[in-house]
Amino acid sequence: MNTSQKIIKYIQENGYVAGSELVDYLSITDRAVRKQLKYLLDNNKLVKTGKPPKVYYSIYPETNTIEEDKDKFDFAKKLPQKLINNNFLYITPRGTMLEGLEGFVVWCHERNIDPIKTAITYQETIKKYQKYRKQGLIDGMHKMKSSFDKVALDKVFYIDFYALEIFGKTKLGQLLLFAKQSQNRELINQLADIVKPTILKLISKYNIDGIGFIPPTVKRELQLIKQLQKRFNLDTRKLVISKVKTPVAVPQKTLSKISDRIINAKETIVVEGNDKYNNILLIDDAIGSGSTLNETAKKLRQRGQCKGKIIGLAITGSFKGFEVISEV
């Protein structure tokens, strides 16, 4: 029995194990154990949970069956393997991030559905929503116009939908949710690196000379929007937009009526300073109703701070008219 087999057998008997425990059990160096663990992780024999100094290893679920199903995609030309690799992300209940085909197959197995048949459904679902995408962006103006009597924004875009039917949260939807809720700096940076090229394109296309970031309501030690702003490191002038503190903080996501969301945004969002801009880009993490973006744009218009266009951009947005994204 080689070292890798000994590790697998030991974990099967104990359920999970820390690396230091394997050093004692195998009587080999820490470096040798790390090398073996990396090999087993890379080959989907083990899964890692936790962060240093507390990291544990357990057996990868249904390894043989999952590998067999992944192999089937290589022999079936009609299956959308490239589409899945580019778009699918699954963050498992144990907190493991699985991208592309591997994540798709594991997701299917955990729901007891056939990955091959489901891949075709996934392709059809993506195609259904692709018609709303132009030049890499989703136009959200149809939603704004159906929700508000007066839209103060000239354009509104999403980089992606937050969720799709059947398959739930999109890749960006999952990254946004878990980056925000777990305050995970690595996920926030990954999200920022995906979003930044879109921001740069919009700055160029619409001659943006002012950027505003919609402030958060919920107090967190690591604020997503502030970390994104730092990571973007944009040269464009920044607007100062604040959220007024109230006796009880009421996040937009807790309000189920669009009229309440409008009041919330109107009464708590403040644009500071008197700087003038030609064209402004307002950035939000997610659009549920669009109230916050629209009310912020209204205030900029009222104060005469924008001479030209105001463009709204959300990392993700909901599909139908007024659909509450209550998680983020």
DSSP assignments along 273-295, one per residue: S---BSSEEEEEEEESS-HHHHH
Confidence (pLDDT) at 314: 94
308, pLDDT greater than 90? yes
CATH for the stretch 134-317: 3.40.50
- Give residues with Cβ within 8 angstroms of 148, minimum separation 6: 262, 290, 291, 294
SS3 (DSSP) at 205:
helix
CA neighbor of 106 nearest in space, from 95, 117, 118, 115 = 115
72, pLDDT greater than 70? no
Give domain limits for the chain. 3-59, 63-130, 134-317
Please provide residue 69's backbone torsions phi and psi, each rounded to the nearest 5 degrees: -70, -35
Confidence (pLDDT) at 145: 85
CATH for the stretch 3-59: 1.10.10.10
Are both 3-59 and 134-317 of the same fold?
no
Residue type, 225: I
Average pLDDT over the chain reads: 85
Confidence (pLDDT) at 322: 47
Q: pLDDT tens across 204-256, in order?
A: 999 999 999 998 877 777 788 888 988 999 999 999 998 887 777 777 777 77
305, pLDDT greater than 70? yes
CA–CA separation, 186 and 157 (whole Å): 25
Residue type, 158: Y
The model carries a pTM of 0.80
SS3 (DSSP) at 73:
helix
Q: At 28, is the pLDDT very low, low, confident or very high (cuts 50, 70, 90)?
A: confident
CA neighbor of 312 nearest in space, from 213, 218, 243 = 213
259, pLDDT greater than 90? no
Average pLDDT value for residue range 114-136 = 89
